[in-house]
Amino acid sequence: MNVTPSGATARGGPYLVYGTLLENPEVAPSYHKMKIRTPIPYGDIEPGQFMMVRISEEPFPLLRRPFSIHSLRDLGIRNGSDIEILYKVVGKGTKFMASWKRGKTLDILGPLGNGFSLSAKMGTQFLVAGGIGVAGLFALSQRLKAHGHKYSVFIGGKTKEHILCVNEFQGLGAGVYVATEDGGIGYRGMITDMVKSFLHNHPNPSGFFACGPVDMLRAIAEIAKSQSIPCQVSLESRMACGLGACLGCVIRTQGKHPLRSKETTRHGLDFSFKRVCKEGPVFDSEEVDWERI
Amino acid sequence: MRNEGPKTPPYRPSMSVTIAGITLKNPVMAASGTFGYGEEFAPMVDLNRLGALITKGISLKPMEGNPPPRIVETVGGMINSIGLQNVGMQAFIRDKLPFLRQFKTPVIANIFGGTVREYGELAKRLDDSPGIAGLEVNISCPNVAKGGVLFGTDPKMAHRVVRAVKRSTQLPILVKLSPNVTDITLIAKAVEDAGGDAISLINTLMAMAIDPKSRRPLLNNIIGGLSGPAIKPVALRLVWQVVNAVKIPVIGIGGIMTPEDALEFIIVGTQAVQVGTANLVNPTACIEIIDGIEAYLTRNGFKNINELVGSLRIS
């Protein structure tokens, strides 16, 4: 530990480092939570950023996999930080990961991308998660609590087996509201409908933070827009390098790309693509082109 | 016998090679499109250690690229259809080149045009820009409708493009070939005849992947270019055919992940190699490959990398 695979040193990140797997339990059917001891300085990591984890030294699975930083613990400036990753076993890469045992050395790259932006003065915030989307919001709630901000958490899932982290959020003192599509626990229906009806008899929050499936994010973005509430969303994409080099992970935005200029407009070019790994993964919801994403 | 050299030689083997008049401190280049404009990798990689850095493909005007999804992983590789998204020549010279000039590593600009005239114009403009050691002419991108691969699959068109670039610049010209042809040697000879100084090969193999559940293609562009370790044997075969067909130097590209992969190309006859997809998986891949090649030379008693070039034993 504490060296990069090439022995190179880096400042400020991203860091290419070895970490040690401390634990990797299945926390719910097909969901695992991995805790990794890393030499990455706590102060260089923002909630909403992500890590790329190398799955195999062999050519299969070839690409690293991106994961939101789920939780963070400061080990002190000399010792780095413990980083948790909450993941769902969905494909070959995550299937490999689920078999990893305590003590394994992991080749990790991060922190990457832009995290959630927080300001010193913020009113009550609503954190809205769909399914595995909770993975990206817990580190944020840790940070909000540390800064003394007020917030509530809304978690939606297909069934109660897909509702994760309720105890963890409650442990931070947050109000947690749950919705399941089958009504097995909490509100019966979509989490976005629950948020909508919640707003009928509660004051508006001063901001939304959302992470989950695109349809859920689109619905939250609409609610936020109709109420003129700022909303930050964390997006996912198929990704190769995570560093902004390969341009593989772009999504379509309304935003003005740095490349867009009078010249490109004259040539009829749209230039609305932004890299999830570099300009994201957190975007202002108004910036995303939800129709063509 | 080379293999019985001293165990601890009193020298470090020379890793330096000269290609098309460009002297490289070692034969390992970062391939176009997999290393951005260098700045993305600078936090993790000492760019001074690279043999050369080849930029993301540059066109005369900025290009927005293809709609997503643009990449998909396959067994031992990945398919991409980025569509040559790039900042364009002006922004490259203004915003990207100054950063790259700080390093002692030769920067080779990969260029791409929609017409023969555009290739010539790009070459002329970059010729005037300090900090560029050479041009790599991309006549092989499979992911754009016009130009691109068309120039790389017709020997006459390849000849015209290379001639136009050659006339417009004093810089050495590498020409990057497409593997998606029936007879690679015809294209390679056309490039040599037209004055190309070196050949880079291979670019990606045209490929496709679908999701049987949804019956949809996994890329918005439907087809894309396959790269990664899966293509290495095909690349090696094409390189073998080309080194036997032309006299100009050849730079081997295709699925190089390890020092051993790079050595295969060098033994077959390339003076240098390019590392591509490996950079995306392991940002320090180039450095590890450089160190591994040097260790191999030392272990096997080679004093100079050039002794190894084309040393394939065929009985």
Inter-chain residue contact A252 with B72, CB threshold 8 Å: no
Nearest to B280 among A237, A238, A241 (CB): A241
Distance from CA of B35 to the nearest CA of A (A): 6
Q: 130-149 in A: which are within 8 Å (CB) of B?
A: none
Contact residues, chain A, for B77 at CB < 8 Å? 59, 62
Handedness of CA A106, A82, A87, A30 (dihedral sign): positive
Amino acid A264: pLDDT? 55
The kind and range of the H/E element at A251 are: strand A250-252
For residue B36, give the chain A residue with the closest CA.
A245
* Domain enclosing residue B190, as ranges: 2-66+84-206+228-307
Amino acid A78: pLDDT? 84
For residue B38, give the chain A residue with the closest CA.
A245
Lowest pLDDT segment from A234-243, B82-91, B221-230, B274-283: B82-91
For residue B225, the cross-strand partners are B80, B206
The yes-or-no verdict on residue B149 having pLDDT over 80 is no
Amino acid A4: pLDDT? 43
Amino acid A266: pLDDT? 54
CB atoms closer than 10 angstroms to residue B202? 28
Nearest to A62 among B34, B67, B78 (CB): B78
Please indicate, yes or no, if residue B211 is contained in any of the structural domains.
Answer: no
DSSP letter for each residue of A266-279: HTT----EEETTTT
Q: Nearest-CA neighbor of B148 among B112, B173, B119? A: B112
The yes-or-no verdict on residue A137 having pLDDT over 90 is yes
- For residue A204, give every residue at least 6 positions away whose Cβ sits within 8 Å of its Cβ, in sequence order, or none: A227, A229
Amino acid A268: pLDDT? 54
Amino acid B41: pLDDT? 96
The yes-or-no verdict on residue B152 having pLDDT over 90 is no
Inter-chain residue contact B62 with A60, CB threshold 8 Å: no
Question: Which two structure tokens, joined as six digits, stand for A207?
Answer: 């901001």
Query: Residue B77's pLDDT band (boundaries 50, 70, 90)?
Result: very high
- For residue A25, give every residue at least 6 positions away whose Cβ sits within 8 Å of its Cβ, in sequence order, or none: A32, A33
Q: What is the pLDDT of residues A206-242, one digit of tens each?
A: 999 999 999 999 999 999 999 999 999 999 999 999 9
* Pairs of CB atoms within 8 A across A/B: 140
Query: Residue A119's pLDDT band (boundaries 50, 70, 90)?
Result: confident
The yes-or-no verdict on residue A126 having pLDDT over 80 is yes
Amino acid A7: pLDDT? 39
Amino acid A263: pLDDT? 57
Please indicate, yes or no, if residue B218 is contained in any of the structural domains.
Answer: no
CA gap B265, B201 in Å, rounded: 11
Q: Is B257 an interface residue toward A (CB < 8 Å)?
A: yes
Mean pLDDT along residues B85-89: 92
Q: Is B92 an interface residue toward A (CB < 8 Å)?
A: no
Q: 9-28 in A: which are within 8 Å (CB) of B?
A: 10-16
Q: Is A30 an interface residue toward B (CB < 8 Å)?
A: no
CB-based burial of residue B183 (10 Å sphere; 0-12 exposed, 13-18 middle, 19+ buried)? Answer: exposed
Please indicate, yes or no, if residue B23 is contained in any of the structural domains.
Answer: yes
Please indicate, yes or no, if residue B219 is contained in any of the structural domains.
Answer: no
Inter-chain residue contact A61 with B73, CB threshold 8 Å: yes
Mean pLDDT along residues B8-26: 90
Active site positions of B, annotated = 141
Mean pLDDT along residues B202-206: 96
* Pair type for strands A125-130 and A207-211: parallel
Q: 4-33 in B: which are within 8 Å (CB) of A?
A: 33
Amino acid A270: pLDDT? 59
DSSP B251: E
Question: Which two structure tokens, joined as six digits, stand for A69?
Answer: 């930083």
Question: Which two structure tokens, joined as six digits, stand for B300?
Answer: 């096997």
* For chain B, percent of residues with pLDDT exceeding 70: 94
Please indicate, yes or no, if residue B97 is contained in any of the structural domains.
Answer: yes
User: Cα–Cα distances in Å, from A248 out to A121, B202, B281?
Assistant: 36, 20, 13
Q: Which residue has the tokens 């899932």?
A: A157
Please indicate, yes or no, if residue B123 is contained in any of the structural domains.
Answer: yes
Mean pLDDT along residues A19-41: 96
User: Does ipTM surpass 0.90 in this model?
Assistant: yes
Q: Is B209 an interface residue toward A (CB < 8 Å)?
A: no
What φ, ψ does residue A92 adopt, rounded to 5°? -65, -40
The yes-or-no verdict on residue B80 having pLDDT over 90 is yes
Looking at every residue in chain B, the average pLDDT score rounds to 93
Q: What is the pLDDT of residues A240-292, one digit of tens each?
A: 999 999 999 999 998 665 555 555 555 555 568 999 999 999 999 999 999 88
Q: What is the pLDDT of residues A151-208, one digit of tens each?
A: 999 999 999 999 999 999 999 999 999 999 999 999 999 999 999 999 999 999 999 9
Q: Nearest-CA neighbor of A86 among A62, A57, A50, A42? A: A50
Please indicate, yes or no, if residue B215 is contained in any of the structural domains.
Answer: no
* For chain A, percent of residues with pLDDT exceeding 70: 90
Nearest to A8 among B40, B45, B82 (CB): B45
Number of folded domains in chain B?
Answer: 1
3-state secondary structure of B289: helix
Amino acid B128: pLDDT? 83
DSSP letter for each residue of B2-67: GGG--SS-SSPPB--EEETTEEESSSEEEPTTSSTTSTTTTTTS-GGGSSEEEPSPB-SS-B--PP
What CATH code is carried by the domain that includes residue B151?
A: 3.20.20.70
Enumerate the H helices of B128-276 as residue ranges.
Answer: 149-153, 155-168, 184-193, 232-243, 259-268
Q: Is B78 an interface residue toward A (CB < 8 Å)?
A: yes
Inter-chain residue contact A248 with B65, CB threshold 8 Å: no
CA gap A101, B284 in Å, rounded: 26
Nearest to B40 among A245, A267, A270 (CB): A245
Q: Is A264 an interface residue toward B (CB < 8 Å)?
A: yes
Q: What is the pLDDT of residues B250-293, one digit of tens each?
A: 999 999 999 999 999 999 999 999 999 999 999 999 999 999 99
Q: Is B279 an interface residue toward A (CB < 8 Å)?
A: yes
Q: What is the 3-state secondary structure (H, E, C) of B86-135?
A: ECHHHHHHHHHHHHHHCCCCCEEEEECCCCHHHHHHHHHHHHCCCCCCEE
The yes-or-no verdict on residue B4 having pLDDT over 80 is no
Please indicate, yes or no, if residue B315 is contained in any of the structural domains.
Answer: no
Amino acid B109: pLDDT? 97
- For residue B38, give every residue at least 6 positions away whose Cβ sits within 8 Å of its Cβ, in sequence order, or none: B30, B47, B53, B55, B99, B100, B103, B107
3-state secondary structure of A13: coil
Q: 53-92 in A: which are within 8 Å (CB) of B?
A: 54, 59-64
Q: What is the pLDDT of residues A192-203, one digit of tens each?
A: 999 999 999 999
List of domains in chain A: 15-112 (2.40.30.10), 125-236 (3.40.50.80)
* Interface residue of B92, B96, B211, B282 to substitute, partner A, most A CBs within 10 Å: B282
For residue A261, give the chain B residue with the closest CA.
B62
